[in-house]
Structures are given as structure tokens and as C-alpha cells.
Amino acid sequence: MNSNSFAGAPHAHDQDSVPRLMGAVLLAILPATLYGLFLFGWPAFNLLTITVLVGLVCEAGCLWLAGRPIRPGVMDGSALLTGVLLALSLPPWAPWWIGAIGAGFAVVVGKQVFGGTGQNIFNPAMLARVMLLVSFPVEMTTWLTPHPWWSGTSPGWLEGWLITLGHFSATDGVTGATILGYARTELGMNHSLAQILAGHYQASAAALGWTGGSLGETAEWLVLLGGLWLLRRRVITWHIPVGMLGAVLVLASGFHLLDPQRFADPVLHLLSGGLMLGAFFIATDPVTSPISSLGQIVFGVGCGVLVYIIRTWGGYPEGVAFAVVLMNAATPVIDHYIRPRAYGRTWSGKPRPVPARAKQPPLARKSGVDARD
Amino acid sequence: MRLHDFRGGVHPPSQKHLSAGRPIESLPLPARLYIPLQQHAGAPALPVVTVGQQVGKGELLARAQGATSAPLHAPSSGRIAAIGEFTAPHASGLPLPTIILDTDGEERWAERAPPPDPFSLSPEEVARRVGAAGIVGMGGANFPASVKLSKARQAGVHTLVINGAECEPYVTCDDQLMRERAGEIADGIAIMLHALQASRAVIAIENNKPEAIQAMSDACRHDARIEVLGLPSRYPAGSAKQLIQLLTGLETPAGGRGTDTGLLVHNVGTAYAAHRALRHDRPLISRIVTVSGGAVPEPRNLEVPIGALAADLLAYCGGVSDERARLLMGGPMMGQPLPGPQVPVIKGTNGILALTPDEVGEAGEPSPCIRCGRCVEACPMGLLPLELSKRARGEDWEGIQALGLNDCMSCGSCAYVCPSHIPLPQYFAYARGMLAAQRREEQKARRTRELMEQRQARFERQERAKAEAAAARRAAKKPRTVVLEADED
């Protein structure tokens, strides 16, 4: 018998491991990623490659500096996932340095300075996106109408690299605002929502993801499918997505009913921007979200409310990254106050009183017993 | 009866098919039996035999010492070879005082008195006889059954729950016992009901044992007080607190007893042992043990004399096929890793398992906690295992108690689901050990302080007495002094 005979119980384990969980999330986001690459061509592919490579190199470098084992840290898939999620949240033709700075910031500042995997307070990808948006507003809001790979307008491999290296401005391609950004600007000019959307928004194109937006955000239905698969596989639970989407749905419906000319309808909100990606793939990041189910609902609702507030009254057309980062900051507080009720205890942690029923006779057949005894 | 639910829990793959349905076979009598003096909660039993003495089967070897102790009896006839130290079923492999018996193969019973009808005896007498037979909880908790019976009767318990859940993967000894000896178990339940003066019994069996449910239902058909109930199979449905919750929806108050809910839980094996003791005057000298696991060529259910070595059982089941097997006493969820096969079966042993590395699911080094909360979801006690382990790592002993370490029952559900493979229960065990050491230190410090204070007080008393005596002396001298002064004047 080997030395393992001294290991403690339990002597069984289910199949899941951290790399498997990360792998499942990557698999779930793969369809939306591929669709994004198809819509936006080689420059998007280059950007994704850069964020992933820079993310992995930074992770390995930090682990090396900290003197910790590099292989398991890099292989657990978390840095890879951070790189992918960051790329999906960037403008698809963003120049290489946006991707590189973002991925480096996400891994080094967003994660490793807190102590590495499991220790960070903020979602690394979203923290990086917020930083980029604040620091480089022009590059971060230069949106592009889709150039599908087969359409002929899609840049070739070499042209793609020129765009990525910044020799070729994305503005030379066909640019346009996202629907949320456009609506915000036009509403500011006192146009009614019906007028604004009439020329600019087709629900069918939006539903297909055939609109301007971040690399992985436009095909909301593919993101949703991936998210539902994660739910089914029990990688995530329903609490955060339902809380987040539910809050946006309720607020958007309410305000839209009050004044349809000023407030966009809930469907537009659900199918625009990074809401779907945020609800299923970002806010559900276990490290930065609360532990308890109730806490997760609170967290999700908080994210949804913030998204709606930022979109409707804030300074930015889109607010998923801000909302998630703000709620990340609230996570320790939520975890402190919302805990599961321990067995045999009240919510305040005191032992529950002895149940009153204990002293009562049983439910049945007392007489039969007396006869027997 | 309507079933309720308990929170948390896990679904480890069953693996019961390896040994389920195997008829109970008797283990050939080993030449030597090793009977540890500590097979129960409470103080070790006190030997009443001497080395070299011939004993009959069932003869008293050691008597109970203290309120929660249990006596030991000879599992077979033979000669006491030694009373010394021998490896006990514990991961540490530390030796414990043990009676070593050389069997003579004659299986000659010591003289037994024909037992009276148990229902003509007083409840106290029934409980006493259960205790005298050395019966402890057969589910693994090893608490003397007589103490539970008496305390529960005094607490006015109305329902006896017979635990046939057997939720640990691999283990099938209770299943097989119920299939083969349902009538005896039913009789044991009736006897225990009498000892408890309780009005009804519920036999709770996980749904993955339909044959056992059928057999127990048939055996209890004539007794309207006994109900057989199928439970959903989910670990740890066989834990007393979770079982009570499943049946009644009631939670045992933290720090309280199961009997606070009006229910008492006993294992099916305990009921069977009560039948043997009260109807046949047989003490608890053998039990059914499941020998199983991927490294065991022929898994079986064996009736084994207490004191047989795990090696004897494994040899009868074809030896251990894999050198890298992990050897366990009990199930994979809560079982005890054994330092080797030279460890005896005790009263609470329900399984001897030899698991292959694949079955154990070893995944190398644990990775950092990603706060996924699966452990929280899985914890049947509503605790935060990840926070508890964080406190243990930070040596925050107050914090870990405030988070409910004492409520943890070490079921292992948290570690079973942890994707980072963090050995959470080991952190908790470490914290418990440290807290216990701390308490001992505090007690010692308090005792020392008390002694110091007493010494101080004694000194002060002596000083005071001296001073008073001096004052008294002075007072006595005073007139003389006055005289002297007067003289001087």
C-alpha cells in the first residue's frame, strides 16, 4: 500500500476540475466567437490571437516572478478565458496595442497583483475594458458594420494585419455607431425613439447579430445558446443571469410603458450591447461574484439595474463592464451579509429552539400500541 | 408519511453493484483475533481476563468503564495469547491496547442462560441487557446503544427511526442484512420499541435497495407500528440529522440532540444485534462487513468475528489485485484510510474497501479556490466550507468557530464536488485538533492559575495570621510596655 493510504476522506471525487470548468466556458462561447470572426474577418482574428497570447505570457511571467509553478497556472485555462472574453468585448478592428495593453492589464493588474487565480476582486477582462474605455475612448468606440468573410469587402490576410498594426484606420472601412450609441446621441437631439429606430434598426438584423458592436456581442442568440448550455451543464447557476436580465427587462418594460418615445423597448435592451455576454459569461465569474444563491440574485439584479441606469441616464451608451465591476466591488459586502442559513440555526446564527412538535405524540396508532404493550 | 427534503448533498456513483445481492458468507475462523479495548465512544473497556486463560465463545473479556463505554466478549473460544498494543483502525496507525485471542476452532460457547421473554422485562432491563451484550451503534458512530435507548426513553421519544439508508457508495452490508434477516430485524425493532416505550418505528431505506424494502415490508406486515419508507438516494441521507429532516422536516437544534425532535435513530444492524442479545442471549461478537472496491477480485458480504484482520477478509475475497490500492475501513465518503491490512475489524466496521487510484479520483496537487460555491451548495449543514478552510489556513480559530466549524459533520460532500480538489475536511480536522489542543492548554493554564491563586491566598492567610498573632502578642505585651514606659518615666 502506498503513502496515499494516509490521505483523508472523502476518497472519491466527481469528474469536475478547474481546467474542465474553464474548458466548458470556452466551449460555450466558441460559437459566438466563431461567428464574430466570420462577421469581422482577419483583423478580428488577429485581435483575438493577441489578447490570448499576451494574456498567457503575462500569466506565465507573473507566476515565474512569484516563484510559483507555471505549468498548472497557465494550463488551468483562466488566463486563456480572460483573453478570449476581453477580445469579445473589444471593437473588432481595434489596433494591436489596444488588445495587448488590455490583456496585460487584465492579467497583471486585474488578477496577479491580487494574488492570482481566485484572489482577484474584479473580473479581469471587464476591469481591462473599463480601463481601455476611459483611457482610449476613440479607439474603443470606433464601431464597424459587419464585413462577412465571403462578402468581398472583408480584408484579406495581409490587409488584416495592416489594420491590426494600425497602418490602416478602421474608419476607412464602413463605420457606424452601435444602436445604443446612436439612440443616445439622437435622443439628445430631441428626436423621438420611433424616428431614430425607423431608419437605423432592424430587429431581424439585430437578432442575427448583423449589427455594429463588439467582436463577440452582436450575435446575442449564440451567446444565449452557449449560456443555456452552461446552465444545463451546471457550470453556472440561473441566479445571476436571471437576476441581471430580469432587472433590465423589468426596468426597460416599465419605463417604455411610461414613455415609449424616450425609453427603448425591453427587447432592444436585451439584444443590444454586451448584456447577454455579461449575464452568462462575465457576471457569472465565480471568483468575483457572491457565493450564496440569494447573494447571486442580489448581485445579478444589481448588475442589471446599473446597466439600465448607465445606458439610460449615464455618460456612456453601454454599461455592462461598468456595472459588473461596480458590483464586483460590492461582492464582499454581499457575501458578508447574505449567507445560507446553517442547519439547526436561525438566520442570525443562534441555535433554533427545540421544535414544539417534539413533545407531541406521533401522528398515528397510539391505541394499537397500548393494546400490544 | 410525507417526505421532506434536506439541503445540499451529492450523488456519488453508487458502485454497490459490486457486492449487492451477494449472500452473506461466514469468514473462516482466523487463528488469531485482535480485539481493541476501545471500540466505542467513551473510555476503553477494562480487561477481566488474564493471559493464558481459556475463554468460551461469548465470554466477557472486558467490562465497560464509565457511562458511555461498552463491554467486550470473546468472538470465539480459545486462549488469551496477549494483552498488549496493536494497530487500531485509525489513519495514524498508532497502536491501542488490544486483547489477542488464539482461537481453538471449537467455537465452544460459554454457558448461556435461556433468555426470558423480552416483553415481560421492564424497559430499563431491556436497555441494560442491550448494554451488557456490548451493542454499540452499528452504523459507524460506535455510541453504546443502551445509553441511547435509556436517554431517549427519558426524553419521551415517540418514534424510532431504523436507518437502512446506507448512502455510502460500495457498502451493502445493511442491504444484505435486510434482505436475508428481515424477520430478526423486525423482532429487534419491536424489542427496541419496548425499551423506548415509543409508539412507532419507521424503517428508512434508500430507493436503490428495492429488495431490502420488499423484505422489510414483508417482515413488518404483521406489526402496525412499523412503517417501511423508501428514500431518494442522495448522500448523506443516512446521517441521523438529515434522515430526521427527510422524515419530519424538523432540524435538530444546533448543539442539541436528535431526540429533541422526538425521534431516535438506530441502524438496522443495531436492531438485529438487539434481537440476537434479547432472544438468544448472544453478545455482539460478529458483524456483516462489505469487502469491495476495484482492487478486490471477488467482492463479498462477510459475517466476520470482531477482531479478524482486514488482511483475513481481503485474502478470502481473492487478495488485493492492485498494489497501488487505497485501503479503507468504511465507505469512500467518510471511511478511515488504513495504514495497512493488519488492522482488526471492530463493531462499527461496515466495509473494508481497496480502491484503485482511478476510483479515488486523485488529481494531483490542489489548485487555488475559485470561489465557485459548489461546496456551499453541497454542504448539508448550510456552512461555508471555503470560508472555513480560509480561516483554518489563516489560523483564525475564533473566526472558524463563529462560522460553525462545530456544526460540520465531516460528511465530505464539499471536497467531493470541489473542482480545485482542495481537501476541505482535512483543514477542518486540523482546526479541530488545534482547538482541542488550545482548550487543553487553557485548562492547564487555568488550573495553574487557580493553584497559584490558592497558594497566594494561603500565603496571604498565613501572613495575616502571623500579623494578627504579632498584633495579639503586642496587645498582650502592651500593659507591660506601659509599665516599662512608666518605669522609664
Question: Which residue of B220, B235, B343, B372 to mutate against A (max A Cβ within 10 Å)?
Answer: B372
Among B149-163, B229-243, B360-374, whose mean pLDDT is lowest? B360-374
Task: Say which residue the cell 421544535 belongs to.
Answer: A355
pLDDT of residue A146: 78
pLDDT of residue A371: 30
Residue A20 C-alpha, separation from nearest chain B C-alpha, in angstroms: 8
Partner-chain contact A6 B91, CB within 8 Å: yes
CA-CA-CA-CA dihedral for A151, A152, A158, A160, to nearest 10: -40
| Mean pLDDT in residue range B457-478 | 88
Residue A366's pLDDT is 32
Let me know: does B317 contact B298? Beta carbons within 8 Å: yes
Mutate to test the interface with B, among A3, A6, A13 (most CBs of B within 10 A): A13
Confidence at residue A174, expressed as pLDDT on a 0 to 100 scale = 58
Confidence of residue A175 (pLDDT cuts 50, 70, 90): low
Does residue A150 belong to the interface with chain B, where contact is any CB pair within 8 Å?
no
User: Is there a contact between B326 and A11 if contact means CB atoms under 8 Å apart?
Assistant: yes
Report whether pLDDT(A153) > 80. no
Taking the C-alpha atoms of residue A243 and residue A293, their distance in angstroms, rounded to an integer, is: 11
pLDDT, tens digit, 9 for 90 and up, residues A75-120: 889 999 999 999 999 998 889 999 999 999 999 999 999 999 899 9
B75-88 pLDDT, tens digit per residue, is 999 999 999 999 88
Q: Does A348 touch chain B (CB under 8 A)?
A: no
Element (H, E) at B328: strand B326-329
pLDDT digits (tens, 9 = 90+) for B408-427: 999 999 999 999 999 999 99
pLDDT of res. B488: 44
Q: B112-123, pLDDT tens digit by residue?
A: 888 899 999 999
What is the average pLDDT score of chain B?
A: 91
Interface residue of A1, A4, A11 to substitute, partner B, most B CBs within 10 Å: A11
pLDDT-derived band at A372 (thresholds 50, 70, 90) equals: very low
- Number of Cβ within 10 Å of residue B205's Cβ equals 30
Say yes or no to pLDDT of B19 above 80.
yes
Closest residue in B to A347 (Cα) is B382
Cβ contact, residue pair A12, B410, below 8 Å: no
Q: How confident is the model at residue A221 (pLDDT cuts 50, 70, 90)?
A: confident
Chain B CB within 8 Å of residue A365 CB? yes
Higher pLDDT, A256 or A156: A256
Whole-model pTM?
0.86
What was the pLDDT predicted at A39? 87
Q: Are residues B363 and A13, on separate chains, in Cβ contact within 8 Å?
A: yes
CA–CA gap between residue B374 and residue A14 (Å, rounded): 12
Q: Grid coordinates standing for B285?
A: 461478537
pLDDT of residue A278: 95
Indicate the SS3 state at residue B83: strand
- On the question of pLDDT at B378 being above 90, the answer is yes
d(CA B427, CA B433): 10
Mean pLDDT score, A334-363: 78
pLDDT tens digit sequence for B149-199: 999 999 889 999 999 999 999 999 999 999 999 999 999 999 999 999 999
User: How far apart, in whole angstroms, are the C-alpha atoms of residue A119 and residue A287?
Assistant: 7
Instruction: Please tell me the distance in Å from A333's CA to the nearest CA on chain B.
Output: 14
- Put simply, whether B426 touches A (Cβ < 8 Å) is yes
Residues of B in contact with A78 (CB under 8 A): 370
CA distances from A168 to A95, A102, A173, B129 (A): 9, 21, 9, 94
Measured distance CA(B227)–CA(B450) in Å, rounded: 56
Confidence of residue A370 (pLDDT cuts 50, 70, 90): very low
Q: What is the pLDDT of residue A357?
A: 53
Residue B52, min C-alpha distance to chain A (Å): 34
Cβ of B415 and A117 within 8 Å? no
Q: Is A363 on the interface with B (CB under 8 A)?
A: yes
Residue B334, φ and ψ in degrees, nearest 5: -125, 5
Q: For A145, phi and psi rounded to 5 degrees?
A: -75, 150
CB pairs under 8 A between A and B: 224
